[in-house]
């Protein structure tokens, strides 16, 4: 129905109000149907734990009216535009050259900027909840980008490797090191970081091997299943992982052997500063920044190496790859293993930053969120991942901050309960708006004479 | 007398109840262009897929012998090994270029295995040590040399999917040649080409045979191409080899004519009686 | 033996519910080749719609349980169908024929959206309904253990069988079913032959949702409780059932559902209840890896 209207709108740019009203009326009617039981009635337990129904017909009317006028507004905005295909988004060359260095300079200065603006205590939230949180997801996005964006292997269980990294660090740092070399306690993070990455990479190979011949959605579902199996085992194998309770008192990273505490050998005392928790937060910020940049640097390098080109070729056409003598099994496994390794690094950092981990942190939703960042960013695009991570993760975090909404909707209004609702909605809307992601052009990995970006419509998304 | 480059012995391929290739044997001789022809559904592409490892034949043996006498049984090699070790390259009926990658990148992907070794299986390459840069430059030079041969050097940085159809066909051949094959298998290389492009293709295939010393096995429907360039023709019909010989012999073979003209069922017997089959 | 028979009955009951949900996955995959990730949540929404209508019928209108349940069944199918129709129309149809990952991401977003919408609208707590059909029909007694079949288990099996029969009739014998099978084979050709492909796909979603709604009603009746997060795990299990039966195959989905139900109850009874979801996910992974066409699926030949 919409297609027919779009076509007629192209012939005749004038806004057809009657049709729009009719369409909006229909949409409002559908909204009424959708909201009849589930919005109009609310079930609540009474004192004796029985369900009672409450009615909210005012909300139903409001929803229908909103849909009606929203639909008209959309029709008005789209008038005459339907036929023109949306142009792919290409960064202007100046911005493409100066953008990344400028962004990097901003990120490096960010903690100090926040410190100057908000003072030591006020800035923890900004550096930790926004800075570190977003950087973790950028790193995870870049890691998963190798698997999904470059090699075209759809992985819905990426969080499993994040969990392997986190639990590796947590278990080694709380059990193995104190039992064997307690003197190394302060160095635990730095020792475990590579170990976590390697273990996660090994798990990438173990889980990757059986699923390599699967394609597309099947691969996605199996990786989801593996992710859930790992989480369920972590929940149920209590002796190993602490079950639901998780693992607490995980050692925090030290400043290369100097702990961040109020003692005499602590960071503040050694550097003659007044003790404040902000130093550790700032230090963690730079650690994850360096880890993320390392991920980016290695990704960029890998793309220009034969293995990276083979990944992209695999995404384009697996059969052609095999006809050219490329061992597709090994190529896919390296993508899985390297992607998993970065997930493991990020997991190790996550455990060290939180000091506490439990299976709650490694649910399917996390995998979905990381995948959404990669797909929304535009598959294979490092800059796209950054923008998408800021939008999605930063957007969710900012919903915590919206206290002023209480003044609009009354004191009972709790913005945080809408976070995931808005997140889900955003995922759907962003796909409708840009199905190929924000940056859908592809940069060639090698240039003979002239660098040209490749339009996203030519780039394949992989078959498995 | 050395063994022929490729010999198929009693090759059969069955899909469920369908016998797509039925006891086919023929040789591809070194330094020749061999054409595999036959009506639609004769099993030509199936034979190709068996040679290049995409199908494992139900029965039969496919032996490839290098000039130094090394012998490979292709039906036992995994598909990618057939290109890597036995050095058989192929193109596809429906062109399979990496459309979202540039023309140059396509040709570099074809040199994956030597470059992979040069990059120290990625480890040295990531660290930026070892002679990878130089090896990559050589690979680019080789790719550019091929682009000059097929007249696409100006489009090296364009995505392969943007090329016109005829250029894509030539690029796919160049890509296959970048793997340094001893045998190049082409699946309908002239399909969809205009007469001028068809002539260019003939010249290219001859130069592949004469200059690069690569033998060619091609499936083709365009008889002008087949008769013009091939040294040897094998004809399949309904999965059975019905003729095998020089182009001139094939041209006048009544069985081949009957197969191609698609005579009515009743007339087959008449035609066969006529040719004494 | 007695425990085994009892678990067999329990497993078949549970399996009926999975089978009903699995049909929705398998039909949508068959017709547009997409894993409808949100289908488990559609089932959950169906459960909530049923719960609310059931409250209306019993608490407000004072109907007896059986007539109330029958009305709820019909209303649930209609309204859940409408939900899935709207979801397809808004979130999937604009992405049809576009980037392959886009509908999958959109479906995952929709799944998150639905469960959180229900959480916001209906609250995060478990919703209990008064127990129904509590009687048990004793079958036989052995070693002091009475094997019985609950009335509600009988109801579930009967309702499932009737729904499947109606559904089977629609798919096999009506023009709608024929249009559906035609679209499964070749959408372009079907539309050239005058089949309204969009409408057929929409109806597929509606039918899948209607069966999921039946499953939702049965689920509430069986467990007596529903929660906004109840879509994910049954959804994955039903998807496992669809894959096990061979995705695209309707009898396969039902048999796969029964198998998954049986495996789950047997696993819980004889091994460990803690790992029952691990068992379901492992079956999913093992089936996909070793038997990707499932029990009744068509083998796929790689085209070169």
Write the pLDDT tens digit of every residue in B84-126.
888 999 999 889 999 989 999 999 999 998 888 877 777 777 7
Residues B157 and B28 placed together within one structural domain of the fold: no
Measured between CA atoms, the residue of chain B closest to residue C301 is: B15
- Dump pLDDT digits (tens) for A180-213: 877 777 788 888 899 999 999 999 999 888 887 7
CB contact under 8 A, A306 and B122: yes
Query: Which residues from B are below 8 Å from A461, CB to CB?
Result: none
- The verdict on B92 touching C (C-beta cutoff 8 Å) is yes
Q: Answer whether residue B265 is part of any domain.
A: no
The per-residue pLDDT for A45 is 78
Measured between CA atoms, the residue of chain C closest to residue A425 is: C113
Measured between CA atoms, the residue of chain A closest to residue C199 is: A1
Residues A55 and A187 placed together within one structural domain of the fold: no
CB contact under 8 A, C56 and A41: yes
The per-residue pLDDT for C258 is 93
Integer Cα distance of C231 and C17 in angstroms: 13
The per-residue pLDDT for A135 is 94
Integer Cα distance of B104 and A463 in angstroms: 23
Q: Answer whether residue B124 is part of any domain.
A: yes
Q: What is the mean pLDDT of chain C?
A: 87
Residues A188 and A300 placed together within one structural domain of the fold: yes
CB contact under 8 A, A458 and B162: yes
Residues B213 and B78 placed together within one structural domain of the fold: yes
Query: Which residues from C are below 8 Å from A36, CB to CB?
Result: 79
Q: Answer whether residue C260 is part of any domain.
A: no
The per-residue pLDDT for A1 is 40
- The verdict on B188 touching C (C-beta cutoff 8 Å) is no
Measured between CA atoms, the residue of chain A closest to residue B181 is: A324
Residues B185 and B67 placed together within one structural domain of the fold: yes
Chains near B with 3+ CB pairs less than 8 A apart are A, C
Tell whether the model's pLDDT for residue B43 goes beyond 80: yes
User: What beta strand segments (E) does C4-105 contain?
Assistant: none
Q: Answer whether residue B19 is part of any domain.
A: yes
**Distance, in angstroms, between C299 CA and closest chain B CA?**
11
Highest mean pLDDT among A23-32, A124-133, B172-181, B255-264: B172-181
Q: Please say which residue of B179, B210, B225 terminates a domain.
A: B179
CB contact under 8 A, B97 and A334: no
Q: Answer whether residue A43 is part of any domain.
A: yes
Q: Answer whether residue B269 is part of any domain.
A: no
Q: Answer whether residue A139 is part of any domain.
A: yes
**Mean pLDDT across the stretch B66-81?**
87
Integer Cα distance of B187 and B212 in angstroms: 20
In 10 A of CB B274, how many CB atoms?
11
The per-residue pLDDT for A193 is 92
The structural domain count of chain C equals: 1
Domain extent for A153: 126-369
Q: Going by DSSP bridges, is the β-strand pair B240-245/B232-237 parallel, antiparallel, or unpaired? A: antiparallel
Q: Answer whether residue A84 is part of any domain.
A: no
How many residue pairs from chains B and C have C-beta atoms closer than 8 A? 7
SS3 content of chain A, % helix, strand, coil (to 5): 70, 5, 25
Closest CA to A384 of A176, A43, A96: A96
- Dump pLDDT digits (tens) for C253-288: 999 999 999 988 888 888 877 788 888 888 888 888
**Mean pLDDT across the stretch C215-242?**
89
Residues B67 and B197 placed together within one structural domain of the fold: yes
What residues are paired with B226 via a beta bridge? none
- Dump pLDDT digits (tens) for C245-261: 888 788 889 999 999 99
Q: What is the mean pLDDT of chain B?
A: 86
Domain extent for B147: 97-179
Integer Cα distance of B6 and B29 in angstroms: 7
Q: Answer whether residue C269 is part of any domain.
A: no
Query: Which residues from B are below 8 Å from C301, CB to CB?
Result: 15
Closest CA to A133 of A434, A370, A311, A450: A370
pLDDT-based confidence at A9, cuts 50/70/90?
very low
The per-residue pLDDT for B184 is 93
Query: Which residues from B are below 8 Å from C302, CB to CB?
Result: 54
ipTM over 0.90: no
- The verdict on B3 touching A (C-beta cutoff 8 Å) is no
Q: Please say which residue of A314, A349, A369 terminates a domain.
A: A369
For residues A282 and B40, is the Cβ–Cβ distance under 8 A? Answer: no
- Give the one of A39, A210, A216 whose C-beta lies nearest to C289's C-beta: A210
Q: Answer whether residue C247 is part of any domain.
A: no
- The verdict on B122 touching A (C-beta cutoff 8 Å) is yes
- The verdict on B49 touching C (C-beta cutoff 8 Å) is yes
pLDDT-based confidence at A4, cuts 50/70/90?
very low
pLDDT-based confidence at B276, cuts 50/70/90?
low
CB contact under 8 A, A326 and B96: no
The per-residue pLDDT for C288 is 82
Tell whether the model's pLDDT for residue A152 goes beyond 80: yes
- Dump pLDDT digits (tens) for C17-69: 999 999 999 888 888 888 888 999 999 999 999 999 988 888 888 888 888 88
B173 contact partners, CB below 8 Å, separation of at least 6: B91, B150, B184, B186, B189, B204, B208
CB contact under 8 A, C304 and B45: yes
Residues B194 and B79 placed together within one structural domain of the fold: yes
Q: Answer whether residue A194 is part of any domain.
A: yes
CB contact under 8 A, A319 and B97: no
CB contact under 8 A, A51 and C127: yes
pLDDT-based confidence at A464, cuts 50/70/90?
very low
Query: Which residues from B are below 8 Å from A445, CB to CB?
Result: 101, 105
How many residue pairs from chains A and B have C-beta atoms closer than 8 A? 139
Residues A210 and A280 placed together within one structural domain of the fold: yes
Integer Cα distance of C209 and C24 in angstroms: 7
Q: Answer whether residue C30 is part of any domain.
A: yes
CB contact under 8 A, B157 and A325: no
The structural domain count of chain B equals: 2
**Distance, in angstroms, between A456 CA and closest chain B CA?**
8
pLDDT-based confidence at B1, cuts 50/70/90?
very low
- Give the one of B80, B98, B110 whose C-beta lies nearest to A322's C-beta: B80
The structural domain count of chain A equals: 2
Domain extent for C68: 2-232
The per-residue pLDDT for C268 is 86
- The verdict on A379 touching B (C-beta cutoff 8 Å) is no
- Dump pLDDT digits (tens) for C131-190: 777 788 888 877 778 888 888 888 899 998 998 888 888 888 888 888 888 888 888 888
- The verdict on A205 touching B (C-beta cutoff 8 Å) is no
For residues A399 and A422, is the Cβ–Cβ distance under 8 A? Answer: yes
Q: Please say which residue of B158, B179, B200 terminates a domain.
A: B179
Q: Answer whether residue C98 is part of any domain.
A: yes
Residues A204 and A267 placed together within one structural domain of the fold: yes
Measured between CA atoms, the residue of chain C closest to residue A426 is: C109
Q: Answer whether residue C78 is part of any domain.
A: yes
Chains near C with 3+ CB pairs less than 8 A apart are A, B
Tell whether the model's pLDDT for residue C239 goes beyond 80: yes
A195 contact partners, CB below 8 Å, separation of at least 6: A168, A169, A172
**Distance, in angstroms, between C235 CA and closest chain A CA?**
12
The per-residue pLDDT for C74 is 93
The per-residue pLDDT for B76 is 87
The per-residue pLDDT for A44 is 81
Tell whether the model's pLDDT for residue C301 goes beyond 60: no
The per-residue pLDDT for A99 is 76
CB contact under 8 A, A42 and C123: yes
Structural element, H or E, at residue C1: none
- Give the one of C112, C123, C130 whose C-beta lies nearest to A44's C-beta: C123
Tell whether the model's pLDDT for residue A148 goes beyond 60: yes
Q: Please say which residue of A337, A369, A401 terminates a domain.
A: A369
**Distance, in angstroms, between B54 CA and closest chain A CA?**
9
In 10 A of CB A447, how many CB atoms?
15
Q: Answer whether residue C253 is part of any domain.
A: no
Q: Answer whether residue A463 is part of any domain.
A: no
Please provide the DSSP assignment of A269-338 as one string: HHTT----THHHHHHHHHHHHHHHHHHHHHHHHHHHSHHHHHHHHHHH-HHHHHHTT--HHHHHHHHHHH
The per-residue pLDDT for B90 is 92
Query: Which residues from C are below 8 Å from A37, CB to CB?
Result: 48-49, 52-53, 75, 79
**Mean pLDDT across the stretch B125-144?**
84
Which of helix, strand or coil describes residue B58?
Answer: coil
The percent of residues above 70 in pLDDT, for chain B, comes to: 93
Residues B107 and B170 placed together within one structural domain of the fold: yes
- Give the one of C55, C106, C113 whose C-beta lies nearest to A421's C-beta: C113
Q: Answer whether residue A428 is part of any domain.
A: no
Q: Answer whether residue C174 is part of any domain.
A: yes
Integer Cα distance of C52 and C72 in angstroms: 9
**Mean pLDDT across the stretch B150-178?**
91
**Mean pLDDT across the stretch A138-155?**
92
Which CATH number do you get for residue B226? 3.40.50.300
**Distance, in angstroms, between A439 CA and closest chain B CA?**
15
Query: Which residues from A are below 8 Å from B125, CB to CB?
Result: 301, 305-307
CB contact under 8 A, C117 and A421: yes
Integer Cα distance of A183 and B130 in angstroms: 39
- Give the one of A213, A236, A431 whose C-beta lies nearest to C102's C-beta: A431
Integer Cα distance of A384 and C249 in angstroms: 40
CB contact under 8 A, C116 and A210: no
Tell whether the model's pLDDT for residue A3 goes beyond 60: no
The per-residue pLDDT for A92 is 66
CB contact under 8 A, A217 and C104: yes
Query: Which residues from B are below 8 Å from A320, CB to CB?
Result: 92, 96-98
Which of helix, strand or coil describes residue C142?
Answer: strand
Q: Answer whether residue A411 is part of any domain.
A: no
CB contact under 8 A, B92 and C304: yes
* Cα A227-A231-A234 angle, rounded to 5 deg: 145
**Mean pLDDT across the stretch A323-346?**
93
Integer Cα distance of C78 and C57 in angstroms: 16
Q: Answer whether residue B254 is part of any domain.
A: no
**Distance, in angstroms, between A183 CA and closest chain C CA?**
39
Q: Answer whether residue B240 is part of any domain.
A: yes
Q: Answer whether residue A323 is part of any domain.
A: yes
């Amino acid at each position: 129905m919409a297609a027919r209207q779009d076509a007629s709108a192209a012939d005749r740019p004038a806004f057809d109000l009657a049709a729009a009203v009719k369409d909006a009326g229909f949409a409002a009617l559908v909204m009424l149907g959708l909201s009849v039981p589930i919005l109009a009635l609310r079930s609540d337990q009474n004192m004796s734990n029985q369900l009672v129904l409450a009615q909210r017909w005012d909300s139903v009317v409001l929803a229908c009216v909103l849909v009606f006028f929203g639909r008209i507004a959309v029709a008005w905005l789209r008038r005459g535009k339907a036929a023109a295909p949306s142009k792919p988004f290409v960064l202007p060359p100046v911005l493409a050259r100066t953008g990344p260095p400028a962004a990097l300079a901003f990120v490096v200065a960010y903690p100090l900027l926040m410190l100057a603006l908000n003072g030591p205590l006020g800035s923890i939230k900004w550096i930790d909840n926004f800075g570190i949180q977003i950087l973790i997801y950028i790193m995870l996005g870049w890691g998963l980008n190798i698997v999904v964006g470059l090699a075209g292997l759809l992985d819905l269980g990426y969080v499993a490797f994040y969990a392997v990294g986190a639990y590796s660090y947590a278990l080694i740092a709380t059990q193995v090191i104190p039992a064997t070399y307690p003197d190394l306690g302060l160095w635990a993070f730095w020792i475990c970081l590579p170990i976590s990455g390697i273990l996660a990479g090994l798990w990438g190979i173990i889980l990757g091997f059986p699923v390599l011949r699967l394609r597309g959605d099947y691969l996605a579902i199996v990786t989801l299943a593996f992710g859930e199996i790992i989480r369920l085992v972590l929940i149920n194998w209590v002796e190993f992982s602490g079950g639901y309770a998780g693992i607490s008192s995980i050692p925090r990273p030290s400043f290369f052997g100097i702990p961040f505490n109020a003692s005499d050998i602590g960071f503040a005392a050694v550097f003659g500063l007044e003790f404040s928790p902000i130093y550790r937060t700032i230090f963690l910020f730079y650690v994850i920044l360096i880890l993320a940049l390392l991920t980016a640097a290695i990704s960029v390098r890998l793309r220009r190496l034969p293995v990276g080109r083979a990944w992209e070729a695999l995404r384009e056409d697996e059969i052609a790859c095999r006809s050219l003598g490329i061992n597709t099994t090994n190529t896919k496994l390296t993508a899985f293993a390297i992607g998993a390794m970065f997930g493991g690094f990020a997991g190790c950092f996550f455990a060290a930053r939180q000091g506490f981990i439990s299976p709650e942190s490694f649910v399917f939703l996390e995998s979905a969120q990381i995948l959404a960042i990669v797909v929304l960013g535009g598959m294979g695009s490092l800059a796209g991942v950054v923008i998408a991570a800021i939008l999605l993760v930063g957007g969710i975090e900012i919903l915590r901050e919206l206290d002023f909404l209480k003044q609009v909707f009354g004191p009972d209004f709790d913005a945080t309960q809408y976070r995931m609702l808005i997140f889900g909605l955003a995922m759907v809307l962003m796909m409708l708006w840009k199905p190929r992601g924000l940056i859908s052009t592809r940069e060639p990995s090698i240039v003979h004479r002239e660098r040209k970006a490749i339009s996203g419509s030519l780039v394949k998304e992989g078959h498995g | 007398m050395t063994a022929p480059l490729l010999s198929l012995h009693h090759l059969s391929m069955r899909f469920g109840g369908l016998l797509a290739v039925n006891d086919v044997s023929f040789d591809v001789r070194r330094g020749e262009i061999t054409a595999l022809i036959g009506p639609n559904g004769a099993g030509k592409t199936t034979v190709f897929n068996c040679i290049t490892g995409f199908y494992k034949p139900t029965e039969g043996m496919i032996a490839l012998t290098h000039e130094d006498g090394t012998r490979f049984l292709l039906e036992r090699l995994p598909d990618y090994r057939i290109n890597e070790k036995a050095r058989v390259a192929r193109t596809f009926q429906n062109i399979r270029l990496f459309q979202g990658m540039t023309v140059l990148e396509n040709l570099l992907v074809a040199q994956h295995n030597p470059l992979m070794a040069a990059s120290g299986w990625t480890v040295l390459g990531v660290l930026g040590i070892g002679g990878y840069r130089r090896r990559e430059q050589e690979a680019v030079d080789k790719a550019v040399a091929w682009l000059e041969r097929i007249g696409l050097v100006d489009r090296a940085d364009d995505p392969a999917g943007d090329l016109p159809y005829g250029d894509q066909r030539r690029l796919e051949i160049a890509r296959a040649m970048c793997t340094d094959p001893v045998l190049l298998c082409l699946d309908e290389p002239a399909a969809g080409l205009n007469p001028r492009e068809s002539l260019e293709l003939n010249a290219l295939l001859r130069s592949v045979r004469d200059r690069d010393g690569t033998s060619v096995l091609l499936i083709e429907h365009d008889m002008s191409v087949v008769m013009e360039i091939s040294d040897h023709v094998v004809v399949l019909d309904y999965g059975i080899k019905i003729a095998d010989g020089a182009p001139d012999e094939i041209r006048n073979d009544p069985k081949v004519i009957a197969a191609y003209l698609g005579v009515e069922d009743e007339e087959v017997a008449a035609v066969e009686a006529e040719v004494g089959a | 033996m007695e425990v085994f028979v009892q678990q067999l009955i329990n497993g078949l009951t549970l399996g009926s519910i999975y089978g009903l949900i699995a049909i929705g996955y398998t039909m949508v995959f068959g017709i547009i080749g997409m894993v409808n990730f949100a289908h488990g949540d559609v089932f959950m929404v169906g459960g909530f719609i049923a719960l609310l209508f059931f409250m209306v019928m019993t608490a407000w209108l004072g109907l007896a349980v059986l007539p109330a349940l029958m009305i709820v069944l019909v209303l649930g199918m209609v309204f859940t169908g409408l939900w899935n129709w709207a979801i397809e129309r808004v979130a999937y149809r604009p992405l049809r024929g576009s980037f392959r990952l886009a509908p999958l991401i959109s479906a995952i977003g929709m799944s998150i959206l639905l469960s959180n919408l229900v959480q916001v609208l209906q609250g995060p707590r478990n919703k209990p309904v008064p127990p129904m059909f509590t009687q048990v029909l004793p079958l036989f007694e052995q070693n002091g253990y009475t094997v019985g079949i609950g009335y509600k288990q009988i109801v579930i099996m009967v309702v499932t069988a009737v729904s499947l029969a109606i559904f089977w009739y629609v798919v096999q014998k009506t023009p709608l079913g024929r249009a559906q099978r035609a679209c499964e084979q070749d959408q372009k050709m079907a539309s050239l032959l005058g089949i309204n492909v969009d409408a057929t796909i929409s109806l597929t979603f509606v039918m899948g949702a209607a069966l999921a709604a039946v499953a939702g009603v049965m689920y509430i009746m069986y467990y007596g409780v529903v929660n906004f997060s109840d879509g994910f795990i049954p959804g994955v299990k039903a998807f496992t059932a669809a894959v096990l039966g061979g995705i695209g195959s309707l009898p396969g989905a039902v048999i796969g559902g029964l198998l998954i139900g049986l495996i789950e109850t047997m696993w819980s009874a004889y091994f460990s209840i803690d790992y029952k979801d691990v068992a379901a996910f492992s079956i999913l992974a093992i089936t996909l890896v070793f038997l990707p066409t499932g029990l009744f699926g068509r083998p796929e030949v790689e085209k070169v």
